[in-house]
Amino acid sequence: MPNGSNLRIEASHKRIADVFSDTYAFSIPAYQRPYAWETTHVEELLADIREAMTSPDEFYFLGSIILVKQHDKPGADVIDGQQRLTTLTILFSVIRDLMEDPSEHRLICDQYVKQRANPFAGIPEAMRLHLREKDQNFFKKHIQDTGSTENLPLTGGLFGAQARLVENAATIKEKMKEMEEAGHHELLSFLLQKCYLIVVEVPNQTAARRIFTVLNTRGMDLAATDILKAALLKRAGQAREKTLSQRWEDVEDPWGRDTFNDLFTHIRMIFQRAKPDSALETGFPEHVKIFDRDPSGFMERVLEPYADAFTLSQDNSALRTRFDGQTANLICSLNRLDNKDWLPPLLLCLKQYLGSERNQDDVKKFVFNLERRAYYLLMVRAHVNARIKCYAGMLNYLDAQNANAKAPKALHLTKEECAELFTALDGDVYLANRVVKPILLKLDQASTDGSASYDHPTLSVEHVCPQTLPEGSQWSRWYHDADVHNAWLHTLGNLVLLNRRKNASAGNLDFERKKSEYFRLGDTSPFILTNQLRDYETWTPKDINKRREVLLRRLAQAWDIEGHFNAWWEEQGKNSRPV
């Protein structure tokens, strides 16, 4: 008969101070994926914590972690929760290293990063969290060791988890430096005393993975939409159950479970107009009131029309037929972004159009403004809270427009916002991996008549002037000044698109030979941006500067903000880089 203690499963909410304590010694098993949070996740976490500090409840729930842990031993394998635990460790380490009193406050803060040594009790110093073996030494050296975040390494040459660790530490450090030290103390106190995790402890890996599956609805019998469907049919009653079930499945079947779940998420946003604060299966009925009140009405007036709008938003051919090529291209451009926060306003607009509440010109105008705003938010790296606030304003406008509502600021870019946008576009865009391809494709599409296809199985970004300058080469003569080379290397003017993998051996070829590589046997590239290189006989800093202005002006024209661009160009852009 099995020992009951070996089957013990515990789940409880714990303060962060109690999680980062001698009770736990966290380890990330080798089979886990590496640390992967990007700076946007970290910025969102910090924004949420600071917002929670001002709320009447004065507490913040950080989610759950799942551990394989024996009841009476601190060792704990992290099955779920690595991203949060690692990011919190980075936050503790940065705050510790910013403390002005190294003899007292640093030691207090340091105890949440590492267990203090006690030679009298035979207790060695030990880190609270051990990442996978591949990353742990780097994590200890550059994050966990006292003082290590004061001089973070450069990210050049770093990849994967190690790059993420340094980038996120730098982001947290920048955000913390915006605050006084008293603010650091206040944030740390709130984090330790008023922030909570649900800690699930199970005795073995099999049980942990099963609970992980259930909590995350992966590979399980019920997804959030399955739970919602059951609740809807229960309220509808037996007489309508069969008919509503068939209508529900007719909407779901073409999309599959994950996309259908996404559709419900977007519909909730249309009704809630704020950042979701609960699970979909509980939050959806709370905000979409008709779901509980009128099951048939929900199907007829909400799910089916929004599904039709969603179908239209993903059908390029139908968009061209109903509107025009430009509108279809703008929605295609939106779909290249790394988030879908813009989709709820688009769905509401298309639903209104399909319901004859809005005409074609209204839709085309709205899509134009939506795409422009979405790219502004992308380029200035607005966090999710700012994006949701902006798109909520658009939703309010769409609902009220028939009453001659004044267009919200979100639909237009101010002179100051345009300056922010062009300053970001004029930076090292190649290094922003979430940004560079959408922007280059946007530029290329803005250069065509709208008929070009951008559905390439392989798409890469190439530096024209190479990153490494071979000694004695044409490139080393044109860019003999390292500062000038660095100033232009990763900018828009020096980048082109290829519809194949980059050829590393061709990267350092002289300019004429590189063009021959781009246009083998006289072929043209499918990309206007790349074909335009034929017009250049040299590729000096002056050539890149000339192309830079052309590309930035093209974006300004595409977004109808040429006047603001001209003002920015005269004030900041014209002479901002050495040639």
pLDDT value at residue 339 = 93
pLDDT < 70: residue spans in the chain: 1-8, 30-33, 57, 101-103, 120-122, 205-223, 401-408, 449-457, 501-507, 520-524
For 567, how many CA atoms within 13 A lie in the half-sphere containing its CB? Answer: 11
pLDDT digits (tens, 9 = 90+) for 20-69: 999 999 998 765 667 889 899 999 999 989 888 887 767 788 888 989 88
pLDDT value at residue 7 = 57
Phi and psi at 345, nearest 5°, equal: -60, -40
Question: Which residue's structure tokens are 């206007």?
Answer: 528
pLDDT value at residue 123 = 72
pLDDT value at residue 342 = 97
Burial class for 107, CB neighbours closer than 10 Å (0-12, 13-18, 19+): middle
Beta strands (DSSP E) in 81-194 are 114-115, 126-127, 129-130
pLDDT digits (tens, 9 = 90+) for 542-553: 999 999 999 999
pTM: 0.68
Instruction: Give the CA dihedral 454, 456, 458, 461, nearest 10 degrees.
Output: -20
- For β-strands 495-498 and 126-127, DSSP reports them as unpaired
Beta strands (DSSP E) in 116-174 are 126-127, 129-130
pLDDT value at residue 403 = 45
pLDDT value at residue 218 = 41
pLDDT value at residue 406 = 56
Q: Which two tokens stand for residue 441?
A: 């494709």
User: How far is residue 537's CA from residue 353's CA, in Å, rounded to a whole number?
Assistant: 50
